[in-house]
A and B are shown apart, each in its own frame.
Chain A
Amino acid sequence: MARQVRSWPVVVAFIAAIALEVLPLPDFLQPIRPPLAVMVLIYWAMMWPERFGLITAFTVGICLDILHGQLLGQNAFTLCVVTYLTLRFHLQIRIFPLWQLTVTIFALLTVNAFLELIIEGIAGLPSAGLARWSRVLSGTLFWPLLLGVMDRLRMQVEHRESTFT
């Protein structure tokens, strides 16, 4: 029987990311709020794909849908697709240098935004306009910082658990 790896710090990170998505910001900061939940999801799907995968993506997505009052399943769907792409290429992405990784994140966030656009188009919901794409940009710029924070968290988890290589 393998020792169970404690993943609650990561779960806390996910909850924090979800909470930050609904944290009230002044109006001028609204359009550049980075999409933290999807970014944290990409990080952990890339670094710990055995534990955080599609089910996590679906759960986080449903939480976001409820909190944002959006169509139920909208974020769940986009996050699942983005996480799938991350899982599919996680071995390549993981060893990218920072700038290449950032470009990859930009691509993934664009896919996410594009899927949102398609869903809103089909459902006939009012579209976000430019704010959607400015969030992609701010997310990309925010990525190195998030990477640092999440790496530190991962180190902690690793140090605590010797089974983690």
Chain B
Amino acid sequence: MTLTTVERKTGHFRSASPGFRLLLLSILSITLMVMDHHNQHLINVRTTLAVLLHPVEILVSAPFDISHNISESLATRSELTANNRRLNQEALVQNARLQRMAALEAENARLRALLDSTTKVGDNIIIAEIVSVDMNPYRNMILINKGGQDGAYVGQALIDANGIVGQITRDRLYSAEAMLVTDVDHALPIELARNRLRTIAVGTGELNRLSLPFLPSNADVREGDLLISSGLGGTFPSGYPVGVIRQINSTTGQAFLEIDAEPAAALNRIREVLLISPREQGGAADNNKQQIKAGINAITDTKAEETTTEEVTNKNQPAAEAATENATSTSEEAF
């Protein structure tokens, strides 16, 4: 590659023919796609490139942020006082509710102690803003302005004031990609608040509709039932509202109901989201780990000593079962 060519030839990659270069680049991009699709080999490459492209995102969202700031600073006095009054009233109502909350939490902890199960602990919260950038036009994804630097992590749950919004799917260090609960690839373990019937809410790709495809036609569901997260699966903390059942269709001869639900969170209007993570309780977590380890050891012991007398296995097995049971129940209820 020489630069001594005439005029407009700047000497970039001129040596190979276009067809050959297309072949090379195609192979390269297909390799990238395969690697990216099958596993997370490229996570570092993605993060690096995303950090490099962060200025573009800032550039794109800047006008929206600025206009938001301007409209905030140009708000009239009467608007501000009205807002202030409303917020004060809201705070008063919420505080009144919280007064009972403290007592109920204490009671809950006491009852759980009686049942010898772990206590539910509060959640840590980070507030993040949604970056005004359109992600993949065909998916329900958003970009938030908090990333690995701020303590966000992949799999973290996002909520807004009304309910569950989604979860973080990719960390970009200074920002993070999140998938909304309505994305077609998203499924969320839920239960009905009325009768704790467990099922799964699947996204439809529409921002105002969730689908519950796995309830049998004799299930006890009604329109207007509140769906809350069940906490199974461990990604989402339990007890947060997910949506409300809007429509139930049962076709004769079909084994399952077709149920539509409306997400509780205002997915197309949100500006701020909360990232929640279970609060670490050092001692308790260590204890759980030890219990799990003990359980695993017990299981391996029983496997190793299969040839020994049945009495030993009988002794070990209940312990192992108890330990694993304990482990699963704690992972469910850690939130």
Q: Which residues of A contact B (CB under 8 A)?
A: 1-5, 7, 15, 18-19, 21-25, 27, 30-31, 33, 48, 50-51, 53-55, 57-58, 61-63, 66-74, 76-77, 80-81, 84, 87-88, 119, 123, 126-129, 131-132, 135, 163-165
A71 to B50, alpha carbons, bound, how many Å? 13
Among residues of A, the one whose C-beta sits closest to the C-beta of B179 is A69
* Chain A residues positioned under 8 Å from B29 (CB to CB): 58, 61, 73-74, 76-77, 80
The answer to whether B134 and A72 have CB atoms under 8 Å apart is no
A68 to B133, alpha carbons, bound, how many Å? 9
Among residues of B, the one whose C-beta sits closest to the C-beta of A23 is B60
Q: List 13 A-B contacts (CB under 8 A).
A: A7-B10, A18-B56, A19-B56, A24-B60, A50-B8, A51-B12, A53-B13, A72-B35, A72-B45, A76-B32, A80-B29, A87-B18, A126-B185
* Chain B residues positioned under 8 Å from A127 (CB to CB): 138
Q: Which residues of B in the span 23-60 have a Cβ within 8 Å of any Cβ on A? A: 25-26, 28-33, 35-37, 42, 45-46, 49-50, 53, 56-57, 59-60
- Complex interface bits, B82-120 against A, C-beta within 8 A gives 1, otherwise 0: 000000000000000000000000000000000000000
- Known contacts being A73-B33, A77-B26, is A15 close to B56, with CB within 8 Å? yes
Among residues of A, the one whose C-beta sits closest to the C-beta of B143 is A69
The answer to whether A126 and B33 have CB atoms under 8 Å apart is no
A113 to B169, alpha carbons, bound, how many Å? 26
* Chain B residues positioned under 8 Å from A54 (CB to CB): 13, 18, 21-22, 25
The answer to whether B57 and A22 have CB atoms under 8 Å apart is yes
A22 to B136, alpha carbons, bound, how many Å? 8
A62 to B33, alpha carbons, bound, how many Å? 11
* Chain A residues positioned under 8 Å from B49 (CB to CB): 62-63, 66
- Complex interface bits, B1-12 against A, C-beta within 8 A gives 1, otherwise 0: 001111111101
Q: Which of A7, A22, A131 contacts B138 (CB 8 A)?
A: A131
* Chain A residues positioned under 8 Å from B183 (CB to CB): 126
* Chain B residues positioned under 8 Å from A71 (CB to CB): 33, 36-37
* Chain A residues positioned under 8 Å from B138 (CB to CB): 126-129, 131-132
* Chain B residues positioned under 8 Å from A81 (CB to CB): 22, 26
* Chain A residues positioned under 8 Å from B268 (CB to CB): 27
* Chain A residues positioned under 8 Å from B36 (CB to CB): 71-73
Q: B205 within 8 Å of A by Cβ? A: yes
- Known contacts being A33-B137, A63-B53, A69-B141, is A48 close to B8, with CB within 8 Å? yes
* Chain B residues positioned under 8 Å from A87 (CB to CB): 18
Among residues of B, the one whose C-beta sits closest to the C-beta of A52 is B12
- Known contacts being A53-B18, A55-B12, A88-B18, is A77 close to B135, with CB within 8 Å? no
Q: Which residues of B in the span 161-187 have a Cβ within 8 Å of any Cβ on A? A: 169-170, 177, 183-185
* Chain A residues positioned under 8 Å from B169 (CB to CB): 69
The answer to whether B133 and A22 have CB atoms under 8 Å apart is yes
The answer to whether B18 and A84 have CB atoms under 8 Å apart is yes
A122, chain B: closest CB distance, angstroms: 9
A165 to B7, alpha carbons, bound, how many Å? 9
The answer to whether B8 and A163 have CB atoms under 8 Å apart is yes
* Chain A residues positioned under 8 Å from B156 (CB to CB): none
* Chain B residues positioned under 8 Å from A77 (CB to CB): 25-26, 29-30, 33
A66 to B177, alpha carbons, bound, how many Å? 10
Enumerate the 4 nearest inter-chain pairs by beta-carbon distance, A residue then B residue, closest first: A73-B32, A128-B138, A73-B29, A77-B29
* Chain A residues positioned under 8 Å from B135 (CB to CB): 22, 67-69
Q: Which of A22, A33, A119 contacts B56 (CB 8 A)?
A: A22
- Known contacts being A72-B42, A80-B22, is A1 close to B53, with CB within 8 Å? no
The answer to whether A72 and B46 have CB atoms under 8 Å apart is yes
The answer to whether A51 and B46 have CB atoms under 8 Å apart is no
Q: B132 within 8 Å of A by Cβ? A: yes
Q: B139 within 8 Å of A by Cβ? A: yes
* Chain B residues positioned under 8 Å from A1 (CB to CB): 3-4
B144, chain A: closest CB distance, angstroms: 12
The answer to whether B134 and A22 have CB atoms under 8 Å apart is yes
A53 to B9, alpha carbons, bound, how many Å? 12
A66 to B49, alpha carbons, bound, how many Å? 7
* Chain B residues positioned under 8 Å from A74 (CB to CB): 29, 33
B133, chain A: closest CB distance, angstroms: 5
Residue from the set B4, B53, B137, B184 with the largest chain A CB neighbour count within 10 Å: B137
A58 to B13, alpha carbons, bound, how many Å? 13
A23 to B271, alpha carbons, bound, how many Å? 16
* Chain B residues positioned under 8 Å from A126 (CB to CB): 138-139, 183-185, 205
A127 to B30, alpha carbons, bound, how many Å? 19
* Chain A residues positioned under 8 Å from B134 (CB to CB): 21-25, 30, 33
